[in-house]
Chains A and B, each alone.
Chain A
Amino acid sequence: AQSVTQLDSQVPVFEEAPVELRCNYSSSVSVYLFWYVQYPNQGLQLLLKYLSGSTLVKGINGFEAEFNKSQTSFHLRKPSVHISDTAEYFCAVSVTTQGGSEKLVFGKGTKLTVNP
């Protein structure tokens, strides 16, 4: 079964420092990968997605992620974070069911806290 593991539950960083949030997936077939962000008391919104093509994917708010098939990873990076990036980040993989429909399976999330 396809699944996602987010290796860090919490990541504290200082403002303007770089950050990497790690995500590994397990899948034996082609994968479609996503990062979502959840700000406090809000729903989730899409940061970026990898469907095919270039392995370096750029998203909103200066975030980017690199798809690495050999390491089954899809780590999220930002070269310089802001206080406003404080949020919870979720990695997700698309799963195709036996019936042919598709759904997203999420990791447990990484809480990013940016300190002044």
Chain B
Amino acid sequence: DAGITQSPRYKITETGRQVTLMCHQTWSHSYMFWYRQDLGHGLRLIYYSAAADITDKGEVPDGYVVSRSKTENFPLTLESATRSQTSVYFCASSDRGRGELFFGEGSRLTVL
């Protein structure tokens, strides 16, 4: 089905482990984004990408790594997870940065 999918939807890990959250979109949108959602903070931008092989930092990039070798995929990696990275992560895409973002259903990550 067309759309934007995130995996896994739920993940529990331990401090210090590496975790990768996957995001795949079928629209060939040029822009993709990673946000985290925390109570009291709303959505905060972690990283975004304007096209394949072009990525840039958002508001809260520390502790995260992204790559975009293909237009349709935008994985987010936590190289050494910390408890402060416990959150709900949302991936989104857009045919241009301005305008309608299409969101995935979110990945709920718990770091113990």
Listed in ascending order, the chain A residues whose CB lies under 8 Å from chain B are 6, 32, 36, 41-46, 49, 51, 90, 94, 97, 99, 101-109
Contact = CB atoms under 8 A, between A and B. Distances in A.
Nearest to A102: B97
B96 A102 contact: yes
Given A43-B105, A44-B101, A46-B100, A103 B42 contact: no
Contacts of A106: 35, 42-44
27 contacts: A32-B98, A36-B101, A41-B106, A43-B106, A44-B43, A44-B90, A44-B92, A45-B103, A46-B100, A46-B101, A51-B98, A51-B99, A94-B99, A101-B31, A101-B50, A101-B54, A101-B97, A102-B31, A102-B96, A102-B97, A102-B98, A103-B45, A103-B58, A104-B101, A106-B35, A108-B42, A109-B42
A10 B99 CA distance: 26
Contact of B103 (A32, A43, A49): A43
Contacts of B74: none
Given A90-B43, A101-B50, A103-B58, A44 B103 contact: yes
Give the top 6 A-B pairs by smallest Cβ distance, nearest first: A102-B97, A43-B103, A108-B42, A101-B50, A106-B43, A94-B98
Interface in B24-49: 31, 33, 35, 40-45, 48
B24 to A, nearest CB: 14
A7 to B, nearest CB: 13
A105 B98 contact: no
B105 A42 contact: yes
Contact of B33 (A49, A97, A103): A103
Contacts of A6: 42
Given A44-B90, A44-B103, A103 B97 contact: yes
Contacts of A90: 42-43
A51 B99 CA distance: 8
Contacts of A103: 33, 45, 48, 58, 97
